[in-house]
Chains A and B, each alone.
Chain A
């Protein structure tokens, strides 16, 4: 099974700052990596698919990059509504999720 190691577990940043979240796969996942945002009591919402493609309706301050085993989500110009937990998900083989990153906006 492919393991996804996500970091950091939590993050605190100010409005307008830029943050990055990383996911490391235990083997090459060939860009089969998506990023989700989840707010309390809500279901996850897709932000990025195929490592770097922005889902329709998602603000352009969100971007994804990476290849092979290393992937990252970058959020520019943080807004208060970005406070949430973020997960990566690989589906190169059976789906596995990262452990999540809780983002707090100061």
Chain B
């Protein structure tokens, strides 16, 4: 059974950092692109970052470019999201997902990040 379990969320002050982790199981992790998507409370979905299978290529929207870094450890079946210089508008539920929009698409249950003083 495919599982994606996100951890590392919580309350953080503006300007500080937080690192999210997503541990995968039930599939060959190293064969799939991985994604982070977020959803602010009561709002829609926003793509946050993507990483290819070997971690050599990463992608971000302008809203987080230069502040967030996605990485992966294929030996540990884990994808990470390092979030620096956090802002109130980064407050959201962060989802880890695999192989978006394909028949192998799967999302984790999400982890809440609250940026507030």
Interface residues of chain A, those whose CB is within 8 Å of chain B, are 1, 32-34, 42-46, 49-50, 53, 55-56, 87, 89, 91, 94-100
Contact = CB atoms under 8 A, between A and B. Distances in A.
Nearest to A55: B103
Contacts of B100: 34, 89, 91, 95
Contact of A44 (B61, B102, B103, B107): B107
Nearest to B110: A43
A46 B44 contact: no
A68 B65 CA distance: 29
Chief secondary structure at chain A's binding surface: loop
Contacts of A94: 47, 50, 59, 61
Contacts, number: 53
A104 B50 CA distance: 33
B45 interface: yes
B107 A97 contact: no
A44 B107 CA distance: 7
Interface of B: 35, 37, 44-47, 50, 59, 61, 95, 100-103, 105, 107-110
The 7 closest A-B pairs by CB, nearest first: A34-B101, A95-B47, A43-B107, A97-B45, A46-B105, A100-B44, A91-B101
Contacts of A100: 44-45
Contacts of B59: 94
A32 B44 contact: no
B104 to A, nearest CB: 9
